[in-house]
Amino acid sequence: MGDWHTKSATEVLAQLRSTPDGLSGRQAEQRLKQYGRNEIAKPKGEGVVLRLLRQLKDPMIVVLLAAAGVSLLASGGRDWPDAVIILLIVAVNGVISVCQEDNARRALAALEQMAPPQTVAVRDGRACRMDAALLVPGDVVLLQAGDRIPADGRLLECVGLRTDESALTGESVPVEKTLSRRLEQATPVGEWSNMVLASTTVTAGRGRAVIVDTGMDTQMGKIAGLLLVDQQQTTPLQRKMEEISKVLSLLCLGVCAVMFGVGLLQGKAPADMFLTAVSLAVAAIPEGLPAVVSIVLALGVGRMAKTGVIVKKLPAVETLGCAGVICSDKTGTLTQNRMTVTRVWTAGEDNTLALTIGALCSDARLQAEPPKTVRGDPTEAALVLAAAEAGLLQGELERQLPRVGEVPFDSGRKRMTTVHKKPAGGWRILVKGAPDVLLARCDRVWKGGPIMLDDTLRKAIAAANEGMAQGALRVLAVAFRDVDSLPPMTAQALERELTFVGLFGMTDPPRPEVAKAVAQCVRAGVRPVMITGDHRATAVAVARQLGMLRPGDTALTGRELDAMSQRQLEERIETVSVFARVTPEHKMRIVRAWKKRGQVVAMTGDGVNDAPALKAADIGCAMGMAGTDVAKGAADMVLTDDNFASIVRAVEEGRGVYANIRRAIHYLLSCNVGEILTVFAATVLGFAQMPLMPVQLLWLNLVTDSLPALALGVEPLERSAMTRPPRGAGDSLFDRPFVLRLLWQGLMVGGLALLAYFLGLAVMPTPAGGAATANTMAFATLTLCQLFHAYNVRSEERSILSIGVLTNPTMNRAFAVGFAMQMAVLLLPPLQRVFSVVSLGPVQWLAVLLLAMAPVAVCEAAKALTR
C-alpha cells in the first residue's frame, strides 16, 4: 500500500488480520501462496540461442558473414572451405562470449548463496529462526543489533532501536526508531521513524515489527523494479570494433571496385575478375579478429577473477583501460569499515576505568567466534574491542558488574546510560555521550580517584576534545556515578553529579594497501575521487592520508552541490577530489559532470539507491561483501573484497587487455595489407599468374590469423602501462602513427613476397619451372615473414632484445606450430600437390629465410630511430 507509516500499530495489525504474537503456520502457508516469496525479482534471462544470436550483432561478424556469402555465391560454391572456416570462427567467438557471461552469473549466484538471509519470526506464538524468503505480510519478526531487516515492517515495540538505512536512502548515520502513532502521508522514506525497511540493518537496540510488505512490494523492491529493464551502453571497445568494421568494409569495397575495373581495362572476362576481386576482399578481412578479441577479453576476465574482481560483461574489461576517473566510496572501500579507537585521554595515567565503561555501557556484543569480532553499532563495537585488546573482556566485566537497567541513547540527549550492580553492594551508573553535553553534567574528574572538576581541568578536557576533533576523530566521553540506593530509571535521575573519566578518539582507518594504489592512479593519470556520506572534516582527513587531496584540490558537501547548477558543477568538477555528505542522487550528478568533461568514469556503490549511478557510469563497480543484490545487478563488475586497490589492479589489467587487442589488430591488418599488396600489384602489373593461389591464401590466413594473434593477446603487461595517461574514450584506434606503422609494415611484408616471386621467376628458378618456383617462394616467404613479424608487434617502442625473445612462451609455441605447419606443406609431397607448391633447392631456401627474417631487422632499426 505504501501508507503504513500513517497508521497506528493497532490499525496495521487489524488491517493485516494479525496479532503481536504473529500468524499461525497455516495462515502463513496460505499467505505465501497469495503473496509469493519474499524475494527481489531477477531480470528475465535470455535463452542460449538468443544470446548466441545477439553475438551476431557485432559489426565485424556481419562483415565476415557478408563477405563469405558473396564469395560462396560468386564462386559457385567452390570457395566453401573459406566460408566454413569463417562460420567456425563466428561460432567460437559466440560460444566464448556466452560462456564467460555464464561464468560471471554463476560466480555472482555463488556470492549471493554464501549467506542466505535468515530471520527470527513468531509463528504459532513461538519465536523461530527461518528463511527470510518465507516471510509474508502479517508475520511478526524480532529484531536485535546486527540483524538484517528482511522486509518492510511497522514497529510494535522498540528499545533504543537504530537502523543503518544507507543502502536504501543513502543516510550514513544510523536512524533512531520510535513508536510514533502516525506520520504524515508526505513524510519522506528516510524519516519513517515508525517503520523498518528491507535490506537495512539494526545497529543498536531491539524491537518487534509486523511485516507489511514483502518482495517487490517493499521500498527496495520498487527501486529494483526500475532496473529490470536493462539499458546497455556501448563500450569504447564496441565503438572501436564498429570503427574497424567500417574501415574494412570500405577497404573491401574499394579493392573489389579497383580490381574489377583494372581487369576490365585489361580485357579480362568480367566473371573471372569479379570472382578474383571478391576472393581478395575476403582475404583482406582478418577472420580471426573477433575470436581473438573475445579470447583476449576472456583471459583478462580470468586473471581479474583471481584478484577479487568478477566481470559480468566481456567488453567491460577493456573499458577499464580507458578509465580517467575512479569515484570511490570511503567506508569499506578506501577504509577498513571498522571503527577503531586510536586515542584515549584520561586525567590520570591509568585508562582501565575508561575502557571498562566503554565495554559495559554498550549494546554491542563481543563474539567468541571468530575471536576479536563485535556485533552491533560500529562506534560501540570499537569501544568493546579496545577494552578486549587491553585484557578487559566484556563477558567477564558483565559478570562482575551485571546490568540492571538502562536509558537508551537518543539524539536529543546525545547520551546512553546503563546501571550495574556492584559486587560489594550499591550500584554504578555508567554514561557515555557527546563530550560537551556529558562534561556539563559532571562535577568531578577521575584521576586515580575522584577530584573536584575545576576550570583548569575543564579547559584541559576541552582542549583534548578539540585536538581529537581537528584530527577528524569521532570523540566520545565516558563518566560514572556510584550510588547506595537505586534511583528511578530516568535520564533526569541518573545523569547528574557525574565523575568525568575520559575521552575516546575513533576513526575508520584506511586500508593499508590503498595509499599505494592511489599513488599508482596518480602516476597513471587516473583521478581518484572520494564520495562519502560522512562529514567533510573526516573525509578530507582520510583523503589527505591517502594522497587523494592534492594542492589546489577542494572538497564539496551535498548541501553545496544542491546550491550549484549542473553547469556550475561541470565547470568545477576537475578541481574537486572529495564529495562529503552526499546522497545517491548527487552521485548521478557527479557521474554526468565527469562524462560531460569527456572522461570515462568508474563508480563504486553498494546500496539500492546507488544502482542508477552504477548504471550511468561507464564502469559500475558493486561491492561483493557489503553490496546489495540490486547494486550487484546494476554493476558491470563486482569487487569480492570491496577494496579500492582491486579497482586499480583492474584498470591496469584493462590497459593490458587493450594493448594486446591493439597488437592483435596491428598484426592481423599489417599482414593482410601485405597479402592485398601482393595480389593487387600482380593484377595491376598484368602478371600472367597470380603470386598466390586461392588455396594458398586460405592456408595463409589459417596459419597467421590464429595462433600468433592469440599469442599477442597474452603478451605480459608492459612496465610503462601505468605510467602514462589513459586514452580518451573517443580516441580513434586508427590514429595517424598507428595507421602509418600498419601501412609501411604491410607494404614491407607485401614487397618482400613480391621480391621472392621475382627472384623465383627470373633469377633462381628450379627445374619445376620459373612460374611454379616463383609461386612457391612467394607463398613460403609471405607465410614465414608474417610469423617472424609477430615478434615485431610485441612492442611498438621497445626492442625485442630488451623485452626478451622468450618472455612470452605462448608466442614461441605459436611460432613453432605455425612454422611446422608451413614446413609440412612445403616439404611433404602429398601436401605439395594439394597446395600447388614445388620443392625448393638450398639457394631458394636461403633466399626465402633471409627475406622472411628481414622484417625483424627493419622494424628493430625503425624502433631505434624512433627512440
Up-side HSE of residue 202: CA atoms within 13 Å toward CB?
Answer: 29
Rounded Cα–Cα distance for residues 50 and 45 (Å): 10
CB 330 within 8 Å of CB 542: yes
Helices (H), 434-583: 435-439, 455-470, 491-494, 514-523, 536-546, 558-562, 566-572
Which residues neighbour 131 within 8 Å (Cβ) at sequence distance 6 or greater?
A: 116, 117, 118
Task: Of 776, 784, 775, give the one whose Cα is nearest residue 820.
Answer: 784
All cell numbers assigned to 688: 600472367
Q: How many CB atoms lie within 10 A of CB 740?
A: 10
Question: Checking DSSP bridges between strand 175-176 and strand 140-144, what pairing results, if any?
Answer: unpaired
Annotated catalytic residue, options 329, 363, 377, 508? 329
All cell numbers assigned to 830: 602429398
Rounded Cα–Cα distance for residues 582 and 570 (Å): 17
Find residue 327's DSSP bridge partners.
Answer: 529, 603
Task: Of 575, 577, 506, 505, give the one whose Cα is nearest residue 546.
Answer: 577
Sequence length of the chain is 867
The helix/strand/coil state of 353 is: helix
For this structure, is 329 an active site residue?
yes
Rounded Cα–Cα distance for residues 634 and 617 (Å): 10
Between the CA of residue 335 and those of 42, 329, 386, 514, 587, what are the distances in Å? 31, 9, 18, 8, 19
Find residue 816's DSSP bridge partners.
Answer: none
Tell the residue number behind the cell numbers 568525568, with chain if given: 500
Q: Backbone dihedral region of 268: left (phi > 0), alpha (psi from -120 to 50 degrees) or beta?
A: beta
Task: Of 330, 333, 338, 357, give the one whose Cα is nearest residue 346.
Answer: 357
Which residues neighbour 512 within 8 Å (Cβ) at sequence distance 6 or greater?
A: none
Rounded Cα–Cα distance for residues 749 and 514 (Å): 48
Examine residue 370 and say whether the peptide bond preceding it is cis (omega within 30 degrees of 0): yes
Rounded Cα–Cα distance for residues 111 and 101 (Å): 15
All cell numbers assigned to 313: 560483461
Q: Backbone dihedral region of 205: left (phi > 0), alpha (psi from -120 to 50 degrees) or beta?
A: left
AA identity, residue 28 = A
Rounded Cα–Cα distance for residues 243 and 733 (Å): 8
AA identity, residue 684 = V
All cell numbers assigned to 288: 580471426
Rounded Cα–Cα distance for residues 567 and 782 (Å): 57
Contacts 24+ apart (CB under 8 A), 695-700: 695/834, 695/835, 695/836, 696/775, 696/779, 696/835, 696/836, 696/837, 697/279, 697/283, 698/81, 698/82, 698/85, 699/783, 699/825, 699/835, 700/283, 700/675, 700/779, 700/782, 700/783, 700/786
Rounded Cα–Cα distance for residues 714 and 700 (Å): 22
The helix/strand/coil state of 759 is: helix
Q: State the distance between the two ends of the chain, measured CA to CA, in whole angstroms.
A: 71
Residues with a catalytic annotation lie at 329
